[in-house]
Amino acid sequence: MEAAPGLPADRYPKVARAIGRELRTRLQIRADVTILDPETLPRTTYKTRCCTYARWSEPMSFRDACIPVRLGWSSPFARWQGPLAEVSSLDLAAQVTTDALARSGLPAAEITGIVLGWTVPQPEIFYGASTVAARIGAPHATGAMLSQACATSAACLEAAALRVEAGLDELSVVITTDRTSNGPVLTYPAPSAPGGAPRQEIWVLDSFRRDPWGGLSMVATAERVAAGAGLTRERLDEVALLRYEQYQAALAGDRAFQRRYMIPVTLPGRRGEPVVVDGDVGVHPTTAEGLAKLAPAEPGGVVTYGTQTHPADGTAGLVVTTASRARELAGGEGIARILGTGVARVGRGEMPTARCPPRWPRWTRPGLTRATWTRSPPTTRSPSTTWGSASRPASPWS
């Protein structure tokens, strides 16, 4: 493998061993890896770096991966312990995806692959991707299950785009789904512990309370970043109110905008009558005066319950395919091109900072500038695979 520029020669053996371990553990590939100095390799007309030793990934640029805009969908999102609390997120994903494909007129037989994203375990999740594929009418398809905390939806979209770009899939369906309600309690046997007492983990709440590496809760992480950026309580309230007003604008015309992508969920009723959830549940009326009255979540802090994303249950999905196929499926509504992806790490307890390395603009396409990249102000997040806001957790394709 060719070394990345700047990688010291004395690190070559260590990096080679690390790559070998990753190949064995992740891909079950046994290989003797050698890192070579780029100057010792023959010059070719096209050469890519094979190894990068940095805090961010080398960005990937796409040429053909596209999304037909009309083939993106979302269930209503319900505040945790609401009407979707007793519905498995896999059941919800299967129902909503099936209805979305039927509404769009896309036969499930045309699906060549699936990427399933989730962060909260559900019954029978071990077989998740292949099971969901069969339940939506595509038993011939399967794919990876991905979980990357709050970045799960972005990771799923990247994975689907990579497969389409590489020609491994012609039409990939990305499905993200989660239920923060009634989260599982995992029990880990510990025979050598005192009395053989097992270790238990309350999956959702323990994840809210502490990032094992950063050592902070989600609220404390938001407070740390807000303090570092000099963000005041008033500024966060302003952003929360703006997001609420934007959400209200999306409800105009009897929710005409939402109805373009939102798929109602039908649940069995306790008295025989089905219950239909056709809109978001749990978005509270928000005013500047109401936000100002709220106490901070932590003493002396700037984050309140009004400026946090409430944990929610829901599912969302989209189709990733080639540009030519996307135009065929778009029905005149246009396509969205996936230009590129990249990953950057920040320091401990600084996740909401979401910095992009300053050198990234140099690899983007002509015309794609740093101004293209946006990020939200610090907020706390649920483990949901979809991105949150101060009002409604939005679909990963919005």
Question: pLDDT at position 278, please?
Answer: 97
Those residues with Cβ within 8 angstroms of residue 339's Cβ, 6 or more apart along the chain or in another chain: 61, 62, 364, 365, 368
Last residue in a domain, options 53, 70, 91:
53
Ramachandran angles phi, psi of 67, nearest 5°:
-120, 120
**Coil/strand/helix, residue 100:** helix
Supply the pLDDT for residue 8.
Answer: 82
How many percent of the chain have pLDDT more than 70? Answer: 81
Same domain, 267 and 199: yes
Question: For position 10, what pLDDT does the model report?
Answer: 80
Do residue 3 and residue 64 come from a single domain? Answer: no
- Residues 359, 101: contact at Cβ < 8 Å? no
**Same-domain status, 35 and 158:** no
Q: Give yes or no: residues 48 and 70 share one domain.
A: no
SS3 assignment, position 306: helix
Lowest-confidence pick of 143-152, 290-299, 366-375: 366-375
Lowest mean pLDDT of 57-71, 105-119, 253-267, name the range: 57-71
Q: Which of 148-168 are b and which e, b meaning 16 or more Cβ less than 10 Å from the residue's Cβ?
A: eebbbbbbbbbbbbbbbbeee
pLDDT tens digits for 271-287? Answer: 888 999 999 999 999 99
At residue 54, the pLDDT reads 44
Q: What does R_g of the chain's alpha carbons equal in angstroms? A: 23
| Same-domain status, 189 and 263 | yes
Which CATH number covers residue 359? 3.40.47.10
What pLDDT score does 20 carry?
77
With residues binned 3-state (H G I as helix, E B as strand, rest as coil), the percentages for the chain, rounded to 5, are 35, 15, 45
- First-to-last C-alpha distance (Å) of the chain: 38
Beta bridge partners of 148: 150
Per the CB < 8 A criterion, the answer to whether 342 and 189 are in contact is no
Task: Find the range with the poorest average confidence among 70-74, 113-117, 167-171, 381-385.
Answer: 381-385
Q: How many domains does the chain have?
A: 2
184 touches 203 (CB < 8 A) = yes
Whether 150 and 95 share a structural domain: yes
Same domain assignment for residues 252 and 355: yes
Would you state the structure tokens that stand for residue 373, as one six-digit string?
């990249």
- Provide the 8-state DSSP code for 55: S
Which pair of tokens denotes residue 206? 């323990």
Give the span between the Cα atoms of 78 and 313, in whole angstroms. Answer: 5
152 and 271 co-located in one domain: yes
DSSP 8-state class, residue 142: -
Give me the domain span that covers residue 348.
59-398
- The verdict on 180 and 295 lying in the same domain is yes
Q: What is the pTM of this model?
A: 0.79
Look at strands 312-322 and 78-79 and give their pairing: antiparallel
- Do 35 and 80 share a domain, yes or no? no
How remote is the C-alpha of 14 from its chain's centroid?
Answer: 32
Which of 29, 53, 77 delimits the end of a domain? 53
**Chain centroid to CA 140: how far?**
25
224: closest CA among 305, 304, 302?
302
Structure confidence at residue 52 (pLDDT): 38
| Contacts by residues 206-213 (CB-CB < 8 Å, ≥ 24 positions apart) | 207/383, 208/311, 208/380, 208/382, 208/383, 211/349, 211/351, 213/348
Confidence of residue 22 (pLDDT cuts 50, 70, 90): confident
Instruction: Give mean pLDDT, residues 12-22.
Output: 79
Residue 200 main-chain phi, psi, to 5 deg: -120, 150
**Which of 38-47, 139-148, 228-237, 305-314 bottoms out in mean pLDDT, i.e. has the lowest?**
38-47
**pLDDT for 70-89, tens place per residue?**
999 999 999 999 999 999 99
**Of the candidates 53, 68, 93, which is a domain's last residue?**
53
**What is the rounded average pLDDT for all residues in the chain?**
85
Q: Residues 251, 224: one domain?
A: yes
Measured between alpha carbons, how far is 367 from 322 in angstroms, rounded to an integer? 22
CB atoms within 10 A of CB 206: 14
344 and 278, same domain (yes or no):
yes
Answer whether 288's CB lies under 8 Å from 237's CB: yes
> Residue 173 has what pLDDT?
98
